[in-house]
Amino acid sequence: MLDGREKSPLAAHKDMYLDKQGQVNKQLSLNGALAAGIPGMSAALVYLSKNYGELSLAKSLAPAIRHAEQGFAISERHRKLLRFRQSVLKQQTEIAELFLVDGELPKKGTLLQQKALAETLRQIAVKGKAGFYQGDIADKLVQSVQELGGIWQLEDLKKYQVKLRQPVVGQYKELQITSAALPSAGGTLLVETLNILETLDLESADEITHQHLIIESLRHAFHDRALYLGDDDFVAVPSERLLNKQYAYGLASSIRADKSLKSDALSGYSKAQQGGRNTTHFSIIDDQGNRVAATLSINFPFGAGIVAKGTVVVLNNEMDDFQASEKAVNGYGLVGGKANLIAPEKRMLSSMNPSFVEQQGRIGVLGTLGGSRIPSMVLLAILDFAKGNDPSSQVRVKRFHHQYKPDIVHYEKGGLNETEMLALKKLGHQLKQYYNYGNMQAVQLGKSTGILSAASDPCGEGFASVQKISQ
């Protein structure tokens, strides 16, 4: 797995978002220059193209450069995300002038041109990693961040390195799963949940029990996320245990079919500790069977709500994916522990979950955006794959989610019907409808038939196709 996750700056420290009373100031980890982690995406794209690419980076970046230079018509979804972040964007002149019109939302179809971004991308295309992490762009990034009260230094950019990691692998019945390693919690959550479910005889359960068992398994896996997970370059994580089938068997034995467990009843998370969206996913299989599941994120829409002057690089707010204090919850309501506290150069935990799923005769590649809800979406899609269904079904599964805290089952509109809701409430679950958060991209190759199929989530703005690309 190629890890291009953001890192915390050298000058970052554990208490950087706390005020004098020791309370977390959420504004600081979500909006503005202190919220931005040192970006890894440019380094990852350069590494990917150099080591695995058939096309040069200049060639694969060309369409993005063209869109930035010539502009593209903004969609209704783009406007919706702008509205969500409008008040934050209005606080920096550069970003407000770029995305808003006199502080207001531009009309649907307005052309968005970003000439300086085209130049930034050209620098990367021509100079590779040095085009972004050193020289003119790096100077502008650091200068802007410092002017806005941030703590980036040139050294931070110069030191950024991608990491190659062993992906998390697992087996669910006859399916082979390959998924994201730490610092993303995604793969561990997915495989741990599947291991629990494997012991629970999902197939013979009725529809409600089926959903209930998935919710209960997610509760356990997210509880372990909160307790143990963090960047394992910095903290010891008991990954072997968390991914072990016997361990899952033990967790499963506390799951009752007739009653929900209360999250507060789970041990190891003391009372003292208790207390949006802009990600992209690509799923690709090429004609030689090479596959890529790639999830990219700047966290909230428009990241930290600031751009570095003269670069049109929108700075991320991934620092919010750290645990800002032992009592804090992040922008997705996730709780965490010591393992995910901030330290210089540490990578923040993620929920991103790019995954491969294989079964005799079939290979699937899938992933989605959606913050903390990513692992449950990927899980539900994999269970759908296990039934023999194809990508167009996998991206349309009815979605519900549990993440240990808050002790609530989230569901998309239509994700649970009236009967299911009544029955789940009777089992003790608290339910809450969410906006339709999915945006899954799934592709599949039939090994014996050679048939490729692809589908994009109807909730999102993605595009799926099987096509011959001429070089």
Catalytic residue ranges: 279
In this complex, which beta carbon is closest to ligand DON, that of residue 227 or of residue 252? 227
Can you tell me which of 31, 299, 394, 444 binds ligand DON, judged by CB under 6 A? 299
Collapsed DSSP state (helix, strand, coil) of residue 291? strand
In angstroms, give the least distance from the CB of 344 to ligand DON. 20
Can you tell me which of 216, 224, 318, 358 binds ligand DON, judged by CB under 6 A? 318
Tell whether residue 370 is a contact of ligand DON (CB under 6 A).
Answer: yes
Can you tell me which of 123, 260, 279, 441 binds ligand DON, judged by CB under 6 A? 279
Question: Which structure tokens are listed for 134?
Answer: 């050193």
In angstroms, give the least distance from the CB of 131 to ligand DON. 25
- The DSSP symbol for 106 reads P
Which residue minimizes CB distance to ligand DON?
277
In angstroms, give the least distance from the CB of 300 to ligand DON. 7
In angstroms, give the least distance from the CB of 437 to ligand DON. 7
Considering only the stretches 29-37, 219-227, 275-283, 376-384, report the one whose residues sit in contact with ligand DON under the rule CB under 6 A: 275-283
Tell whether residue 263 is a contact of ligand DON (CB under 6 A).
Answer: no
Tell whether residue 193 is a contact of ligand DON (CB under 6 A).
Answer: no
The amino acid present at 291, given as its one-letter code, is: R
How far is the C-alpha of 66 from the C-alpha of 234, rounded, in Å?
40
- The DSSP symbol for 366 reads E
In angstroms, give the least distance from the CB of 29 to ligand DON. 12
111 phi, psi to nearest 5 deg: -80, 125
Angstrom distances, CA of residue 307 to CA of 31, 130, 303? 12, 20, 9
Tell whether residue 321 is a contact of ligand DON (CB under 6 A).
Answer: yes
3-state secondary structure 287-322: CCCCEEEEEEECCCCCCCCCEECCCCEECCCHHHHC
In this complex, which beta carbon is closest to ligand DON, that of residue 65 or of residue 339? 339
In angstroms, give the least distance from the CB of 368 to ligand DON. 8
Distance of CA 28 to the CA centre of its chain: 21
In angstroms, give the least distance from the CB of 84 to ligand DON. 11
DSSP letter string, 134-181? SHHHHHHHHHHHHHTT----HHHHHH---EE-PPEEEEETTEEEEEPP
Question: Which structure tokens are listed for 211?
Answer: 């959903």
Distance of CA 361 to the CA centre of its chain: 29
User: Which residues within the stretch 29-68 sit at the binding site for ligand DON (CB under 6 A)?
Assistant: none
Can you tell me which of 217, 278, 311, 441 binds ligand DON, judged by CB under 6 A? 278
In this complex, which beta carbon is closest to ligand DON, that of residue 347 or of residue 362? 347
Tell whether residue 297 is a contact of ligand DON (CB under 6 A).
Answer: yes
Considering only the stretches 64-72, 369-377, 387-395, 400-408, report the one whose residues sit in contact with ligand DON under the rule CB under 6 A: 369-377
Question: Which structure tokens are listed for 266?
Answer: 């789970």
Angstrom distances, CA of residue 40 to CA of 10, 45, 72, 355? 15, 9, 25, 20
Token pair 């019109």 is at which residue?
101
Q: For residue 365, which of 391, 393, 384 has the smallest C-alpha distance?
A: 391
In this complex, which beta carbon is closest to ligand DON, that of residue 279 or of residue 311? 279
Question: Which structure tokens are listed for 131?
Answer: 């085009």
User: Which residues within the stretch 325-364 sit at the binding site for ligand DON (CB under 6 A)?
Assistant: 350-352
Considering only the stretches 125-133, 246-254, 368-376, 397-405, report the one whose residues sit in contact with ligand DON under the rule CB under 6 A: 368-376
Question: Which structure tokens are listed for 306?
Answer: 């600031």
Q: Indicate the helix (H) or strand (E) that contains 441.
A: strand 441-446
Site size with ligand DON, rule: CB under 6 A: 14
**Residues recorded for the chain:** 471
The residue ranges that bind ligand DON (CB under 6 A) are 277-279, 297, 299, 318, 321, 350-352, 369-371, 374
